[in-house]
């Protein structure tokens, strides 16, 4: 009975299939050359290794080509539809594909500040970056940050609105830069130290410009807020979400001063921003034994963050991981794209790029 790989008609001889056909080899008993078989086996192993490496190379090449095409498609969609893809791979891939600085550059916040619905959102994002994320931006992103900030200041100087909001932003940024410049030896800032000193001087100049604003009374002499019925005046005040605006409004006229002290008004303001548990921990009684909601509000804002309110926000599609402004469509492949969209606060947007 013959056995596999050996010719039964001539014991001691082995036949092996090669690229040139079947080749006969002799073993040690038949006086053949063992080196022939070993050399062939080595050659065969070498061919297998080359084949394996070739397959791996083909797979890797196809993968790189596919990724390149996908990246080109994503960048093209971004320029046309104003949205950005948030990569959900490993930490290294995700960090290399889209950092906070890249997202900050791509989403075109310069145009967003021209939209009144997005203005407060962009300002809040600039403030959060100034507090803790400034050093995580690249040199281009930091330059873009200062350019956007300059446009924000110019818009406020022209419109004479949101002055206090921008003052707080500039003060936060200046305080952060003072701390970072003192640690410049640790290379925490990108660029020459003289450039950052110049930027700090620009911030001081902007602050001075905001302080010199003289708000003029409009020439129109029609119906004013004080001409409306008291119930309408109170209804308008209830739509203000910042207690400091209520205090400022109360300083305009004596009648508005009385309305701005309404206990129910301050109670609703506290209940809007804070939970019942937070309120119970900060109870303050007046001289009459009643809850002083106004004092409680200002005490609560020193202890807890207020509820943020924006006319327009960034949206994250959980299905496609697409980041875009609200109302901007993207080619979502989900069955119900509306249910996959999640609204992001400025802090949520920053948290997307923490690794």
- What pLDDT score was predicted for residue 220? 67
- CA pseudo-torsion sign 101, 104, 108, 111: negative
pLDDT greater than 70 at residue 299: yes
Residue 77 confidence (pLDDT) above 90? no
H-type helices in the chain, by residue range? 34-81, 91-97, 100-106, 109-112, 116-128, 139-159, 163-182, 193-211, 230-237, 243-250, 254-260, 263-273, 276-281, 293-303, 346-351
- Residue-level pLDDT at 201: 92
Q: What percent of the chain has pLDDT over 70?
A: 69
Which of 83-92, 93-102, 225-234, 308-317 has the lowest average pLDDT?
A: 83-92
pLDDT band at 124; cut points 50, 70, 90: very high
65 has a pLDDT exceeding 80: no
Sign of CA dihedral 337, 338, 342, 345: positive
What is the secondary structure of 120-144 as a DSSP string? HHHHHHHHHIIIIIGGGS-HHHHHH
What's the confidence (pLDDT) of residue 209? 93
Q: Which of 3-12, 145-154, 229-238, 302-311 has the lowest mean pLDDT?
A: 3-12
pLDDT of amino acid 332: 75
Pairwise CA distance, residues 32 & 38, whole Å:
12
Please tell me which residue, 90 or 205, carries the higher pLDDT value: 205
The pTM of this model reads 0.67
pLDDT in tens, 153-171: 999 998 888 898 999 999 9
Helix (H) or strand (E) holding 322: strand 322-325
Question: What are the structural domain ranges in the chain?
Answer: 100-212, 242-303
**Is the confidence at residue 63, as pLDDT, over 70?**
no
Residue 255: band (very low, low, confident or very high) from pLDDT cuts 50, 70, 90:
confident
Q: Residue 49 pLDDT > 70, yes or no? A: no
Q: Are 117 and 338 in contact (CB under 8 A)?
A: no
In this prediction, residue 153 carries a pLDDT of 94
Confidence band, pLDDT 50/70/90 cuts, at residue 43? very low
Task: Give residue 94's pLDDT band: very low, low, confident or very high (50, 70, 90).
Answer: very low
Pair 267, 274: CB distance under 8 Å: no
- Average pLDDT, integer, range 13-18: 65
Unique residue bearing structure tokens 């920053």: 350
Q: What is the pLDDT of residues 194-241, one digit of tens each?
A: 888 889 999 999 999 999 988 777 676 777 888 888 888 888 888 888
- Is residue 36 pLDDT above 80, yes or no? no
The residue among 63, 70, 96, 102 whose CA lies nearest residue 84 is 102
Name the average pLDDT for the chain: 75
What integer pLDDT is reported at residue 183 of this predicted model? Answer: 66
- Bigger pLDDT: 328 or 152? 152
Task: Name residue, tokens 């600039």.
Answer: 126
What pLDDT is attached to residue 154? Answer: 93
- What pLDDT score does 73 carry? 41
pLDDT at residue 90 greater than cutoff 70:
no
Is the pLDDT score of 107 beyond 70? yes
Nearest to 176 by CA among 104, 123, 127: 127
Which tens digits make up the pLDDT trace of 170-189?
Answer: 999 999 888 887 765 555 67
What confidence score (pLDDT) does residue 133 get?
87
Cα–Cα distances (Å) from 188 to 103, 134, 192, 222, 305, in that order, read 21, 9, 11, 55, 28
Give the separation between CA 83 and CA 81, rounded to whole angstroms: 6
């Amino acid at each position: 009975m013959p056995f596999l790989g050996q010719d039964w008609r001539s014991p001691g001889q082995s036949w092996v299939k090669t690229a040139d056909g079947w080749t006969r080899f002799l073993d040690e008993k038949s006086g053949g050359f063992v080196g022939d078989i070993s050399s062939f086996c080595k050659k065969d192993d070498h061919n297998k290794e080359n084949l394996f490496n070739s397959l791996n190379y083909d797979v890797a090449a196809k993968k790189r080509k596919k990724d390149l095409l996908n990246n080109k498609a994503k960048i093209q969609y971004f320029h046309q539809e104003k949205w950005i893809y948030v990569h959900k791979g490993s930490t290294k891939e995700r960090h290399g594909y889209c950092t906070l600085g890249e997202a900050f550059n791509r989403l075109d916040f310069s145009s967003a500040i021209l939209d009144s619905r997005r203005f407060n959102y962009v300002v809040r994002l600039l403030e959060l970056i100034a507090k803790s994320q400034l050093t995580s931006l690249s040199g281009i992103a930091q330059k873009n940050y200062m350019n956007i900030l300059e446009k924000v200041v110019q818009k406020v100087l022209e419109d004479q609105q949101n002055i206090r909001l921008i003052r707080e932003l500039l003060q936060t940024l200046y305080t952060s830069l003072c701390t970072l410049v003192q640690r410049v030896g640790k290379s925490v800032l990108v660029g020459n130290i003289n450039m950052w000193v110049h930027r700090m001087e620009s911030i001081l100049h902007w602050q001075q410009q905001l302080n010199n604003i003289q708000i003029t009374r409009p020439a129109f002499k029609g119906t004013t807020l004080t001409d409306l019925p008291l119930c309408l005046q109170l209804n308008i005040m209830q739509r203000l979400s910042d207690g400091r605006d209520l205090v400022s409004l109360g300083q305009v006229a004596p009648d508005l001063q009385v309305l701005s002290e309404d206990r129910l008004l301050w109670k609703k303001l506290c209940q809007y921003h804070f939970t019942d548990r937070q309120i119970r921990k900060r109870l303050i009684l007046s001289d009459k034994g009643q809850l002083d909601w106004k004092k409680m509000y200002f005490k609560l804002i020193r202890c807890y963050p207020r509820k943020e309110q924006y006319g327009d926000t960034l949206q994250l599609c959980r299905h496609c991981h697409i980041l875009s402004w609200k109302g901007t469509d993207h080619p979502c492949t989900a069955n119900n794209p509306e249910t996959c969209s999640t609204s992001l606060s400025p802090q949520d947007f920053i948290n997307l790029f923490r690794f």
